[in-house]
Amino acid sequence: MMGSSRWKIAVVAFFSFAELLMPIEADEHEHTYTDKEEVVLWMNTVGPYHNRQETYKYFSLPFCVGTKKTISHYHETLGEALQGVELEFSGLDIKFKDEVMQTTYCEIELDKAKRDAFVYAIKNHYWYQMYIDDLPIWGIVGEADENGEDHYLWTYKKLEIGFNGNRIVDVNLTSEGKVKLVPNTRIAMSYSVKWKKSDVKFEDRFDKYLDPSFFQHRIHWFSIFNSFMMVIFLVGLVSMILMRTLRKDYARYSKEEEMDDMDRDLGDEYGWKQVHGDVFRPSSHPMIFSSLIGSGCQIFSVSFIVIIVAMIEDLYTERGSMLSTAIFVYAATSPVNGYFGGSLYAKQGGRRWIKQMFIGAFLIPAMVCGTAFFINFIAMYYHASRAIPFGTMVAVCCICLFVILPLNLVGTILGRNLSGQPNFPCRVNAVPRPIPEKKWFMEPAVIVCLGGILPFGSIFIEMYFIFTSFWAYKIYYVYGFMMLVLVILCIVTVCVTIVFKDRTSFYFGYMAVFSSSLGIMCGAVGYVGTSAFVRKIYTNVKID
């Protein structure tokens, strides 16, 4: 009864967690309006145009708020909170299909401090982001004259909203009303709303924000074709070399099996057969090694599933939906980490499996959360909008403790019981075979560096497009290309492994997390492929 109750609690917690994480769907009730129904204009962030990651709250600049004080409601997912999406009500009174002529909604008492804040924003080309019905709108704060001496603020927001039936399908903003910034004056802020019919379908309303000319450029297609041809060449070359070598060795070993015991004992083993007693020897640090392999297998599973979901669903249409989906899938695939890490640790004779389970469960979360919290302190110091609230940090820690850890425990138990037996094709010698001194280019550090060049080269162009969408003003949507590149990366990694055996803080922090995760995933893929290959060739050889 006690065990049954614990499982019920775990199931309830998991589905509650899923409800928290999964983005709110664009259903009939959320994006449909009746005439005169309230339409909310949300103010999001403001920041320099040349640095997308440097964003602040919209009202960190001394803008004034509209007269309307009450709104209906606002849902925030965990993905939005982690991305720093903090929407604030504009106070503008907008109703569905109800046109508004130019109306003053507030006035700014422009003292010297407020003027200096606006001047700084204009000098640094600040722009702001707003949302209407989840559609983003961008506007510029102001501009300077040709000499850069006088600065002007755009005071009139001219909104033009397109509708198709009872849905909003298009939003455009025109900034007008250029007013010179003079201390100790009053600046009137105004807006107007014009509604127009549109033929754009609701499902296609985000198409205007995509950039097909950029993502579907010929160089993108050429890079995919080039990587694909390189994979074919590499696989063919490796297969040809290995098949010729293995066929020749198998022929020699077959002749040895026909000899009598006396002749076989007088002969010496040669080739890769002579290391059969050491090739399946446990690693020097089996706990860390198995944890890395388990984490890499989980990252691969997350990448594969999220790309599939992104190909089916338009995740870019909902704020934070990609991150929410990734977190949910990562937590749900925790048994994958436990299964592969726990089974490998058991095969290598590890006995402290609980410690290995904790390391495997928290290896990636600790790396990601540690980097995120470090960046968060910097964001809090600069009062940036990307600062993560304390409650969100607590929620992430609870996910790790009450969702990821239990599921990892389930996977570890299954892995140890189902595939934790060391069923190697040949036994491991008690005394390790002496290893000859290696050349400098065969040292592990050199092999790791050289082994990473070719796989990264195969996905370099795609990484350019992905990072451009992350660090610049693009929306990545060609997930079919991403899936193909993931397959190419895995194939190249396996082949190469067989052959070888301050704000700046934001950039380096995020890139370090991405690079480490990619390295762990590629290492796991390479190990799994190479392990299957080595096990196969030694299975076909008779060893006394």
Let me know the angle formed at the C-alpha of 519 by 515 and 525, rounded to the nearest 5 degrees: 145
* pLDDT computed for residue 276 by the predictor: 67
* pLDDT computed for residue 511 by the predictor: 61
Strands 56-57 and 100-110: unpaired
* pLDDT computed for residue 405 by the predictor: 94
- Contact assessment for residue 124 and residue 42, using Cβ atoms and an 8 Å cutoff: no
* pLDDT computed for residue 280 by the predictor: 77
**Structure-token match 């940090």, residue found:** 393
* pLDDT computed for residue 519 by the predictor: 79
539: tokens are 């299975």
* pLDDT computed for residue 269 by the predictor: 56
41 phi and psi angles, rounded to 5 deg: -100, 110
Residue 136, CB half-sphere, CA atoms under 13 Å: how many? 21
Strand partners, 315: none
Residue 526: partners with Cβ closer than 8 Å, 6 or more residues away: 451, 493, 494, 496, 497
* pLDDT computed for residue 515 by the predictor: 74
Q: How far apart are CA 180 and CA 119, in angstroms?
A: 10
* pLDDT computed for residue 261 by the predictor: 54
* pLDDT computed for residue 27 by the predictor: 44
Q: How far apart are CA 411 and CA 405, in angstroms?
A: 10
* pLDDT computed for residue 343 by the predictor: 93
* pLDDT computed for residue 295 by the predictor: 93
Instruction: Report which secondary-structure segment, H or E, holds 288.
Output: helix 286-312
**Residues, the chain, total?**
544
At residue 115, the 3 state secondary structure works out as helix
- Contact assessment for residue 212 and residue 476, using Cβ atoms and an 8 Å cutoff: no
- Residue type at 172 in one-letter notation: N
**Structure-token match 């030694």, residue found:** 538
* pLDDT computed for residue 273 by the predictor: 63
* pLDDT computed for residue 4 by the predictor: 47
DSSP state of 95: B
* pLDDT computed for residue 3 by the predictor: 44
Strand partners, 333: none
Q: Report how far apart, in Å, the C-alpha atoms of 534 and of each of 118, 251, 286, 496, 531 are.
A: 66, 18, 19, 14, 5
84: tokens are 């720093």
* pLDDT computed for residue 533 by the predictor: 80
Strand partners, 95: 38, 98
331 phi and psi angles, rounded to 5 deg: -65, -40
pLDDT along the chain (544 residues), means of 10: 44 49 46 89 89 85 86 67 81 92 93 94 93 91 88 95 93 93 93 94 86 63 71 75 72 60 50 68 88 92 90 79 89 95 91 93 91 84 81 88 94 92 78 72 69 60 64 67 75 67 55 76 82 78 60
pTM, rounded to two decimals: 0.76
Q: How far apart are CA 354 and CA 509, in angstroms?
A: 30
Distance of CA 370 to the CA centre of its chain: 16
Q: How far apart are CA 400 and CA 408, in angstroms?
A: 10
